């Protein structure tokens, strides 16, 4: 069973995203927006460094789409951090993992991708697994519901925008735009509760920035591959699997029978989705 480069890149990116989130959890003295700022500014410096070394133009060929990608990414992150602090954690995570479903819907209408009924069923199986694993509290306001859906839609739209940019632009150019826009807006959001890092904090912050940079790089490269967006999007659910393993090994977290049932559903949904895609390949 051979994995395409797009699938390999998604799996690598989800592993690094999970590791980054664990590192962030280990540095609670900084607020979320400050973490975004340091992660973004470090990633931006790395991206610019690579581009200058390779002699690639920082401007890119699709400047409007590149700026739009940066703005959509910011909307996705900022709205997610809003719901993370205003509604129960399980519900916030559930909204986050609606984004692959929105990515598939957008791909149907904007990229003319064909999605079978079976694939929709496997999406549903994965999402039910997320609900069982993380829980969901329906006692949230309409405004918070709107923000949660906006976060998920923006996360899904990211796949489409990067696919539209295609391989005309170097992955580092896409990262350079996103990291710059993200650093700019997160700095303003972080200022009211700014905590100045001490010398002992810089090692952790630099590691978070580097790990986040690798995660974003492979995420971008994955979508630039020929694989369909709807196929790659469902693989983002592997982030939950990686997070569970890291939580168990690093934070000594323990899980209930319901958690393992949710985990099993996610795993089954992913395997069935993969087999369905292999079956319908031309």
pTM of the predicted protein model: 0.83
Question: Structurally, how many domains does the chain consist of?
Answer: 1
Query: How far apart are the C-alpha atoms of 269 and 11, rounded to whole Å?
Result: 16
Q: Where are the alpha helices (DSSP H) in 5-88?
A: 5-25, 32-54, 63-86
pLDDT of residue 214: 95
pLDDT of residue 253: 67
Is residue 54 in some structural domain? yes
pLDDT of residue 282: 47
Is residue 281 in some structural domain? no
Is residue 282 in some structural domain? no
pLDDT of residue 262: 78
Is residue 249 in some structural domain? yes
- Show contacts of 195-203: CB within 8 Å, 24+ apart: 195/29, 195/30, 195/31, 195/34, 197/30, 197/38, 201/27, 201/29, 201/30
User: Which tokens hold the place of 86?
Assistant: 């205003």
> Is the distance from CB of 45 to CB of 270 less than 8 angstroms?
no
Is residue 151 in some structural domain? yes
Per-residue pLDDT of the chain (282 residues; tens, 9 = 90+): 577 888 899 999 988 988 888 888 788 888 888 989 999 999 999 999 999 999 998 988 888 999 999 999 999 888 888 887 777 766 677 777 788 888 888 888 888 888 778 888 888 887 888 777 766 666 778 888 888 889 889 988 998 999 998 878 899 999 999 999 999 999 999 999 899 999 999 999 999 999 999 999 999 999 998 888 877 887 887 777 777 777 777 767 666 777 778 778 877 877 777 776 655 554
pLDDT of residue 54: 93
Domain enclosing residue 248, as ranges:
5-276
List the one residue out of 84, 121, 115, 94 whose CA is nearest residue 272.
121
User: Which tokens hold the place of 216?
Assistant: 């974003």
Identify the burial level of 266 via C-beta atoms within 10 angstroms of its C-beta, where 0-12 means exposed, 13-18 middle and 19 or more buried: buried
Side-chain-side CA neighbours of 267 within 13 Å: the count stands at 10
pLDDT of residue 94: 72
Is residue 22 in some structural domain? yes
Query: How far apart are the C-alpha atoms of 56 and 34, rounded to whole Å?
Result: 30
E strand or H helix that includes residue 113: none
Query: How far apart are the C-alpha atoms of 81 and 212, rounded to whole Å?
Result: 17
Is residue 15 in some structural domain? yes
> Is the distance from CB of 68 to CB of 125 less than 8 angstroms?
no
Query: How far apart are the C-alpha atoms of 220 and 214, rounded to whole Å?
Result: 10
Query: How far apart are the C-alpha atoms of 254 and 137, rounded to whole Å?
Result: 21
List the one residue out of 160, 152, 177, 143 whose CA is nearest residue 76.
152
| Token pair 């703005």 in the structure block, residue | 71
pLDDT of residue 256: 75
Is residue 56 in some structural domain? yes
pLDDT of residue 251: 67
């Amino acid at each position: 069973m051979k994995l395409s480069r797009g699938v390999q890149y998604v799996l690598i990116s989800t592993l690094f995203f999970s590791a980054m989130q664990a590192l962030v959890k280990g540095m609670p003295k900084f607020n979320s927006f400050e973490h975004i700022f340091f992660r973004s500014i470090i990633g931006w410096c790395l991206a610019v460094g690579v581009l200058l070394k390779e002699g690639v133009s920082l401007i890119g060929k699709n400047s409007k789409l590149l700026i739009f990608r940066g703005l959509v990414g910011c909307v996705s992150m900022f709205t997610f951090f809003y719901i993370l602090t205003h509604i129960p954690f399980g519900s916030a995570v559930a909204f986050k993992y609606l984004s692959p479903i929105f990515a598939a819907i957008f791909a149907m209408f904007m990229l003319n991708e064909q999605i079978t009924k079976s694939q929709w069923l496997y999406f549903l199986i994965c999402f039910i697994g997320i609900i069982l694993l993380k829980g969901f509290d329906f006692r949230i306001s309409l405004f918070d519901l709107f923000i949660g859906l906006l976060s998920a839609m923006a996360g899904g739209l990211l796949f489409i925008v990067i696919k539209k940019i295609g391989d005309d632009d170097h992955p580092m150019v896409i990262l350079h735009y996103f990291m710059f826009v993200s650093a700019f807006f997160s700095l303003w959001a972080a200022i009211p509760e700014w905590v100045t890092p001490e010398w002992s904090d810089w090692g952790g912050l630099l590691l978070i920035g580097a790990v986040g940079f690798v995660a974003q790089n492979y995420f971008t490269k994955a979508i630039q591959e020929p694989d369909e967006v709807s196929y790659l999007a469902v693989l983002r659910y592997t982030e939950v699997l990686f997070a569970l393993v890291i939580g168990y090994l690093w934070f000594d977290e323990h899980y209930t029978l319901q958690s393992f049932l949710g985990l099993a559903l996610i795993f089954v949904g992913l395997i069935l989705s993969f087999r369905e895609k292999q079956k319908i390949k031309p």
